[in-house]
Amino acid sequence: MSAHDMPMSGSVDMTHGGGGRAMAELIRTLFNKHFSNPILDQGNDGALMSLPPGRVVISTDGHVISPLFFPGGDIGALSINGTVNDVAMMGARPLYVAVGFILEEGFPMADLERIVVSMASAAKAAGVTIVTGDTKVVEKGKGDGVFITTTGIGVVPEGVETSGSKARPGQAVLVSGTMGDHGVAILSKRESLEFETEIVSDCAALNGLIADMLAAVPGVTTLRDPTRGGLAATLNEIARASHVGMMLDEDAIPVRPDVHAACELLGLDALYVANEGKLICICENHDAETLLAVMRAHPLGRDAARIGTVIEDAAHLIQMRTGFGGTRVVDWIAGEQLPRIC
């Protein structure tokens, strides 16, 4: 191991956010080292770039997850993948990411480097470039290690018109895989629970999967990632924005058996638990089988399933036929089940 590859030592102090030499050194030896690319390396307070023609999407997301490191990921990978996904759900090809760090005084530099390396790796995997950033430091006790706000920018291909407000009765409701993995992985880690098999977060960038789906069916109606509030909150948002209801089939919603068991133990409902590598797709009924085939052919969509149908409903309710033959309303969650899950 060369000196260049030694883990960084020491910890974050107030000078790293002061705008002087210590901050410049941190940028040079940590952020620019791992994120280096021609746009970032210009060294300005912002990034200058050319975008391909088309409508532009911008999305921003703060990440305050606790714990910072968890089975299947960390705040760094999550901050890149979450924003890549938000941009991709708008039908756009994600291209560039801006990163804002808020660091707490005393945070170990080695942990910060681990997070930065994870971000660089996630960006590379997703095919996006980190083009600009900012670092602030707050006193010990005024933050929680590290918060990361990422902003993504992308361009929508001609002909793509996805929206959360255009779902229509008769359309199919699909999901790309199992529900609840991320939230249960975080909570298990937080509560130090041990299961027979470790439950890992599904944290992943879905832009590749979406590109395949849009190549097959450019007219996909809605793409959304069921993060905070899980499947239930996201479907309710779509129903409200589109002035429709939905009828789901409980038995069709994929949930891993270990996640199901953990939810029972923790008193959670997997439909309300956050996902970080799954999507909801609403499409014309006649496109459903084509899209399911495309999704199942992708590593991140192997467990894709049709879980329900959009229906007319003036009350915009999400209803679900249960395994026992009844029907129940999948209401908005009133508060939150899991704080600081993303």
CB nearer to a second copy: pick between 56 and 110: 56
Cβ atoms of 161 and 61 closer than 8 Å = no
Dihedrals phi, psi of 331, to nearest 5 degrees:
-75, 165
Amino acid at 136: K
The three-class DSSP label of residue 79 is: helix
- 25 three-class SS: helix
d(CA 86, CA 228): 12
**Residue number with CB closer to a second copy (270 or 292):** 270
Site residues (CB under 8 A) for a second copy, limited to 21-40: 21-24
Contact call for residue 338 and a second copy (CB under 8 A) = yes
Tell me: does residue 228 bind a second copy (CB under 8 A).
yes
- Min dist CB 182 to a second copy, Å, is 12
- Residue 262 binds a second copy (CB under 8 A): no
- Interface residue with a second copy among 93, 224, 256, 278 (CB under 8 A) is 224
| Complex with a second copy: residue 86 or 202, whichever CB lies closer | 86
Closest CA to 122 of 83, 77, 159, 153: 77
Strand order in the sheet with 280-283: 222-224, 280-283, 172-175, 305-311, 245-249, 318-321, 327-329
CB of 281 closer than 8 Å to CB of 289: no
Cα(312)–Cα(290) distance, integer angstroms: 24
Q: Are strands 245-249 and 318-321 parallel, antiparallel or unpaired?
A: parallel
* Amino acid occupying residue 132: T
Binding-site member from 8, 11, 15, 252 for a second copy (CB under 8 A): 15
Of the candidate residues 77, 80, 205, 233, the single one contacting a second copy (CB under 8 A): 233
Contacts of 272 (CB under 8 A, 6+ apart): 229, 230, 231, 232, 233, 333, 337
Q: Per rule CB under 8 A, is residue 93 in the interface with a second copy? A: no
Q: Is 201 in the site for a second copy (CB under 8 A)?
A: no
Query: From the list 118, 135, 178, 207, which residue makes contact with a second copy (rule: CB under 8 A)?
Result: 135
Among 125, 211, 317, 333, binds a second copy (CB under 8 A): 333
Q: How far is the CB of 269 from a second copy (least distance, A)?
A: 12
Whether omega for the bond prior to residue 299 falls within 30 degrees of 0, making it cis, is: no
- Interface with a second copy, residue 337, by CB under 8 A: yes
Q: What's the closest the beta carbon of residue 143 comes to a second copy, in angstroms?
A: 6
Which residues does residue 306 pair with via DSSP β-bridges, in sequence order? Answer: 174
Residues in the chain: 342
Distance, CA of 90 to CA of 214 (rounded, Å): 11
Residue numbers 149-188 binding a second copy by CB under 8 A: 149, 151-153, 156, 163-165
State whether residue 238 is helix, strand or coil. Answer: helix
Q: Is 243 in the site for a second copy (CB under 8 A)?
A: no
Binding mask 41-80 for a second copy (x = CB under 8 A): -xxxxxxxxxx---xxxxxxxxxx----------------
332 binds a second copy (CB under 8 A): yes
Would you count residue 242 as binding a second copy (CB under 8 A)? Answer: no
Measure the CA–CA gap between 75 and 129, rounded to whole angstroms. Answer: 18
Pick 73 or 229: Cβ nearer a second copy: 229
Residues 286-305 that bind a second copy (CB under 8 A): none
Report the residue number, 15 or 121, with the smaller CB distance to a second copy: 15
Which of these segments, 186-194, 199-207, 278-286, 333-341, binds a second copy (CB under 8 A)?
333-341
Using CB under 8 A, which of 90, 120, 239, 248 touches a second copy? 90
